Amino acid sequence: MQFFAYDHLPPHLALISRMFAYLARDIITMLPRNPERSVALRKLLEAKDAAVRAKLYAEPRSLTPEATP
């Protein structure tokens, strides 16, 4: 559960990460320990990381100045 911790995050990111932590806890509680559970948790961690990055995402700035008429 180390990688699903969210207390260190700012509130707007903790809100996103917390949902994944709850689901990870449920997976650990409800499923037997086996390679497939490990895969499920690893993919959930990938999804959590992507969701947090999506919240942080900013449209890239143009590298060239826009032409003004």
| Confidence check: pLDDT of 38 > 80 | yes
Q: What is the rounded distance in angstroms from the CA atom of residue 29 to the CA atom of residue 17?
A: 19
pLDDT 10s digits, 8-37: 999 999 999 999 999 999 999 999 999 999
Percentage with pLDDT > 70 across the chain: 91
Q: What is the rounded distance in angstroms from the CA atom of residue 6 to the CA atom of residue 36?
A: 24
